């Protein structure tokens, strides 16, 4: 899934001067779950579980969503539909290997049959990890890499409460390896959920920092998917649409968090970005942010907001043409000039949005130290997302990118 035919330097150029890979010589696939979208759609969760044959669903969530009342709302709907749900919320951000295994023990001991994930990326990744163990056994870290999950997993229903991670539609599962202090990527078609139910109401209880972090994650998904070596015409539209929606809406959702119209736009942006990256994969910004997040247990989207401008500039130094259409979608006048100017303008626009929504300027402000960089670079090069970055970096390149962001 992470490899693509051709190379960035060999891409054909369209009328606007942008390089896009031809796909006539390869078959492309587009993975997506069933999607239910709209204000009030949370009530559809019980019907979804019924259609999947569930009687004793495991509702995976976190303490914040329990306190916000969303978990009890879903639990009530499941009970009224005649089911006996089991609620499990013993999760922390950036789900840990031992937490996933504890959740699996609950799933197994209580005889659960369907998994419902109510939460952000951490909850949804934990739910996927529990599902992997439920049908495949072993230790969750055994499944690091691509297509390592051999047996079909239990049915998955997702109710995202953040706008940006895309985990509700993706074939990714990100888990913190606590022994090594890093994050691992599990990737495969088996991890695409069965049904995602996207209710913008659930976004209104996010704190400001989480709205900012997840929104920047969606922006990174869109840009990295668009320039990925595995992009295709089926993903390009979703990627560019996500970029446009996030940049025009994210700041407004933070200023006025209860306005349902902008929350709905951000919910769509997250969905579009998720559909793009789960099929086109990602790039160096994600490969790098996974390692910092694993080391310091930091918000993934915040790290993307710091790293993405540096990665754009690095990629553009080899071939800036793919960023021309990104610049055009953002109405940046530089898209009419040299590709290099367009790419730098995109990087500057990302940087400006990150500052506007309160993300720190440097990794140093987040606790990364010079002595961490060699180790972070080595781990980033092993990450599955690095394989589809449009420019292949060396260890020295990745270390230099980390240092530039420090």
Convert the pLDDT of each residue in 93-114 to its tens digit. Answer: 999 999 999 999 999 999 999 9
Range of the domain at 76: 34-203
Convert the pLDDT of each residue in 265-276 to its tens digit. Answer: 999 999 999 999
Looking at residue 13, its pLDDT comes to: 39
CA–CA separation, 165 and 270 (whole Å): 7
Looking at residue 182, its pLDDT comes to: 92
CB atoms within 10 A of CB 14: 12
Looking at residue 61, its pLDDT comes to: 98
173 and 57 together in one domain: yes
Convert the pLDDT of each residue in 376-405 to its tens digit. Answer: 999 999 999 999 999 999 999 999 999 999
Comparing CA positions, the residue from 160, 104, 90, 165 lying closest to residue 135 is 104
Convert the pLDDT of each residue in 150-162 to its tens digit. Answer: 999 999 999 999 9
162 and 257 together in one domain: no
Average pLDDT on 223-238 reads 96
Q: What is the CATH number of the domain that holds 393?
A: 1.20.1090.10
Looking at residue 25, its pLDDT comes to: 66
Domain ends where: 153, 180, 203? 203
Domain ends where: 203, 230, 249? 203
231 and 257 together in one domain: yes
DSSP secondary structure string for all residues of 195-217: EEEE-GGGGTT--HHHHHHHHHH
Looking at residue 26, its pLDDT comes to: 75
Distance of CA 258 to the CA centre of its chain: 24
Mean pLDDT for all residues in the chain: 93
Looking at residue 20, its pLDDT comes to: 56
Q: What is the CATH number of the domain that holds 155?
A: 3.40.50.1970
Banded model confidence at residue 55, pLDDT cuts 50, 70, 90: very high
Average pLDDT on 199-210 reads 96
In a domain, residue 62? The reply is yes
Average pLDDT on 190-199 reads 98
Looking at residue 3, its pLDDT comes to: 36
Domain ends where: 165, 187, 203? 203
What tokens were used for 189? Answer: 């078609």
107 and 240 together in one domain: no
In a domain, residue 354? The reply is yes
Name the residue with higher pLDDT: 14 or 307: 307
Percent of the chain scored above 90 by pLDDT?
A: 93
Average pLDDT on 10-30 reads 55
CA–CA separation, 380 and 384 (whole Å): 9
Rounded to 5 degrees, what angle do the CA atoms 144, 147, 153 make? 95
In a domain, residue 393? The reply is yes
Query: Exposure pattern of 18-53 as b/e (b: 16+ CB <10 Å)?
Result: bbbbeeeeeeeeeebbebbeeeebbebbbebbbebe
The residue written with tokens 């970096």 in the block is 393
In a domain, residue 18? The reply is no
How many domains is the chain built from?
A: 2
284 and 350 together in one domain: yes
Average pLDDT on 43-62 reads 98
Query: Exposure pattern of 102-119 as b/e (b: 16+ CB <10 Å)?
Result: bbbebbeeeebbbbbbbb
Convert the pLDDT of each residue in 306-347 to its tens digit. Answer: 999 999 999 999 999 999 999 999 999 999 999 999 999 999
Banded model confidence at residue 278, pLDDT cuts 50, 70, 90: very high
pLDDT for residue 1 is more than 70: no
Banded model confidence at residue 187, pLDDT cuts 50, 70, 90: very high
Looking at residue 305, its pLDDT comes to: 97
255 and 371 together in one domain: yes
CA–CA separation, 354 and 215 (whole Å): 10
């Amino acid at each position: 899934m992470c490899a693509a035919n051709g190379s960035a330097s060999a891409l054909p150029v369209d009328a606007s001067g942008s390089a896009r890979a031809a796909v006539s010589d390869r078959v492309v696939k587009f993975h997506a779950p069933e999607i239910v979208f709209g204000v009030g759609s949370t009530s559809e969760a019980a019907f979804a579980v019924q259609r999947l044959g569930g009687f004793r669903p495991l509702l995976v969530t976190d303490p914040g969503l329990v306190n916000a009342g969303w978990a009890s709302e879903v639990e009530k709907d499941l009970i009224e539909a005649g089911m006996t749900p089991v609620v499990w919320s013993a999760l922390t951000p950036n789900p840990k290997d031992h937490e996933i295994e504890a959740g699996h023990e609950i799933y197994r001991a209580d005889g659960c049959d369907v998994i419902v994930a109510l939460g952000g990326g951490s909850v949804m990744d934990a739910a996927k990890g529990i599902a992997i163990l439920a049908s495949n056994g072993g230790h969750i870290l055994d499944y690091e890499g691509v297509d390592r999950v051999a047996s079909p997993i239990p049915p998955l229903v997702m109710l995202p409460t953040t706008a940006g991670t895309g985990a509700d539609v993706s074939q990714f599962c990100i888990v913190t390896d606590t022994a090594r202090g890093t994050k691992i990527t599990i990737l495969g078609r088996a991890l695409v959920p069965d049904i995602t139910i996207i209710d913008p109401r659930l976004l209104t209880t996010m704190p400001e920092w989480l709205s900012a972090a997840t929104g920047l994650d969606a922006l990174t998904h869109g840009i990295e998917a668009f320039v990925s070596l595995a992009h295709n015409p089926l993903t390009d539209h979703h990627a560019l649409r996500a970029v446009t929606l996030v940049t025009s809406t994210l700041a407004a959702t933070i200023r006025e968090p209860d306005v349902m119209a902008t929350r709905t736009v951000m919910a769509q942006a997250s969905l579009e970005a998720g559909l793009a990256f789960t099929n086109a994969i990602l790039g160096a910004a994600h490969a790098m942010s996974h390692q910092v997040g694993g080391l310091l247990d930091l918000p993934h989207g915040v790290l993307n907001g710091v790293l993405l401008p540096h990665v754009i500039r690095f990629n553009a130094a080899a071939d800036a043409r793919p960023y021309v259409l990104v610049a055009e979608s953002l109405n940046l006048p530089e898209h009419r000039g040299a590709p290099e100017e367009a790419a730098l303008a995109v990087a500057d626009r990302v940087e400006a949005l990150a500052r506007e929504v309160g993300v720190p300027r440097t990794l140093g402000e987040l606790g990364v130290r010079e002595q961490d960089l060699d180790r972070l670079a080595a781990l980033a090069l092993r990450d599955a997302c690095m394989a589809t970055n449009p420019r292949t970096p060396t260890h020295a390149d990745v270390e230099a990118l980390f240092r530039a962001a420090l």
